[in-house]
Amino acid sequence: MTARVSFFGGLGEIGANMASVEVDGRLAILDVGLTFPDAEHYGIDLILPDWAPLRDRADDVDCVVITHGHEDHMGALPFFLRDFNNITVYASRLTCGLLEAKLTEHPDTSADLRVVEAGDRITTGPFDIEFVGVTHSIPDGFGVAFHTPDGTILHSGDFKLDQTPIDGKPTDLPHLAELGDVGVALLLADSTNADTSGHTKTERSVGKTLRDTFAEADGRIVVTTFASHVHRVQQIIDAAIQTSRQICFVGRSMVRNMPIARDLGYLTYDPAAIVEIHEVDNLARDGVVIICTGSQGEPYAALSLMAAGQHRQVQLQSGDTVVMASSVIPGNEAAIFKSINGLSRQGARVVHKGIADVHVSGHAAADELRYYHNIVRPKAFVPVHGEYRHMVAHAEIARSTGLAADRVFVCEDGDTVELTDGVVGRGPSFTAGRVFVDGLGVGDVGSAVLRDRGKLSSEGVCVAVIVIDGHARLVSEPQIVQQGVIYEPEQAQLLDLAAKVLSEELRAGRDSDGAVIRRTTAQTLARFWREQTGRRPVILPLLVEL
């Protein structure tokens, strides 16, 4: 008998976290997260793990377990449900609340959402699953233990060892110690801050900085953070109330998530203290705090529009204060600095992590991870949730606690590990790809399309309109148009020359057909642009037959 863990995403990267646990031929899916595109993903909206290997085993999928309500752990679930509709999903109350709101935007999907609490232990199919409360940058996070006939597999979830969390619920170390005493055959643990020494600061440290910043501010205050960071938003609200300011939520996810968190008891505020965006201009500039989205410089998010001076309802001016109370996700640096520059150009004072304690991580640093390993005492370990450098650093932490080097497995997406009679070893690998969401299309954009988009963005496009008769002979001179190859005032003479060169090449041909004309056109114009400009635009021959 063997239990197998397969990794679909989240190893060697930040985001798209997804794994499966297989017992007796049945599958439990652990997280179904997404990640966001970077500069090389032209036009892509979202990136999902590729769960194609599971489609042929749809009847074997027993349930989905979500560790917490961040997009990189649950954001891909609506797309997953298109292939595995109405499957049972186990998650915390807050996570289920966020999922319910998300699924209303995908009316063609549904799920059997079942709320579980920290400390619960459930049985479904062959799975015996236990939930351990952890502290993270969103309430109601879990570590998850799968008790299998071959031994216990423990996933840490995203966590930190904050001893004074905002909700008074620290990571449940006694529960983890009990699991360690019984025996953990395999540990999968968060590696995000494994290369950061020491301990991660408590979330409460941000509250003091916010209060001090608000007390010093004379004008309007804008604070941006993640819409899922309920504890951070609570501290922003508390600081606003203490400085006699009203609160305005701006941005789609912020407006959607905060009432959900309040209704479920995770966020406390008086509705009378909340104002709508259209009311802000009627208030004194020192009488409001705007809590908005856009902490990562997303192009159309609220803060990005404010930074560009394009927000329809919020205009900043000298004397206003903007607090960027969030981390910098790798790859977003340029967009974030662009926002900071735009805000500064409008005269706003910008307070960010680089100059003040307005953000602390939700992930455990090296000394916390070492402590965690010493409590759990796993017999084998796989670092997860992190770039490759993070996982290598976490592997070294595990070895420093006494775990044998051959019991530490640094894996990547597409790898599997197997647990047989308490002993862990590597299993067979599989192809773990990525699926791109572009508008309404899911999976219809691949690497070839992205290469074309990259070339279009860097080299431009040239279209040749060629009119031929029934014998494939030119009826008139080719018409050449371009976009993104040369500057508009300079193009007329060069395009005339391109048309002349192409016409001579086509008229020199004999017994041509449409395919030959297209190929000749592409080769001739590619050569022409390379010789004339050194550029390699995309060539699109367009044949019109009379």
Summarised one tens digit per residue, pLDDT across range 67-108 is 999 999 999 999 999 999 889 999 999 999 999 999 998 888
Token pair for 186: 């395999």
Tokens 């020192």 — which residue? 286
Token pair for 199: 């301990």
Predicted confidence at residue 42, as pLDDT, reads: 46
Token pair for 135: 């502290």
CATH number of 447-545: 3.10.20.580
Q: What are the DSSP calls for 195-222, one per residue?
A: TS-S-PPPTHHHHHHHHHHHHH--S-EE
Q: Which CATH class is domain 3-198+361-439?
A: alpha beta
The SS3 assignment for 319 reads coil
Find the farthest-apart pair of alpha carbons in the chain and give their distance in angstroms, rounded. 86
Q: Rounded to whole angstroms, how far apart are CA atoms 321 and 340?
A: 12
Q: Rounded to whole angstroms, how far apart are CA atoms 66 and 30?
A: 6
Q: Rounded to whole angstroms, how far apart are CA atoms 360 and 193?
A: 12
Q: What are the start-end ranges of the E strands in 416-513? A: 416-420, 423-426, 434-438, 441-442, 461-468, 479-483
Residue 69 · residue 98 · CB < 8 Å: yes
CATH number of 204-351: 3.40.50.10710
Token pair for 75: 């954001």
Residue 23: pLDDT band with limits 50, 70, 90: very high
Please, which contacts does 310-315 make with residues 24 or more away whose CB atoms are closer than 8 Å? 313/277, 313/278, 313/280, 313/281, 314/222, 314/250, 314/277, 314/280, 314/290
Provide Rg for the chain, Cα atoms: 28
Predicted confidence at residue 516, as pLDDT, reads: 85
Model pTM score: 0.83
Sheet of strand 441-442: strand arrangement: 46-49, 434-438, 441-442
Sign of CA dihedral 306, 312, 313, 317: positive
Q: Rounded to whole angstroms, how far apart are CA atoms 247 and 271?
A: 9
Where in the chain are the domains?
3-198+361-439, 204-351, 447-545
The pLDDT of residue 458 is above 80:
no
Residue 538 · residue 460 · CB < 8 Å: yes
Mean pLDDT of the chain: 90
Q: How confident is the model over 464-493, as pLDDT tens digits?
A: 998 887 776 777 889 888 877 777 666 778
Residue 272: pLDDT band with limits 50, 70, 90: very high
Nearest to 67, CA basis, from 21, 118, 125: 118
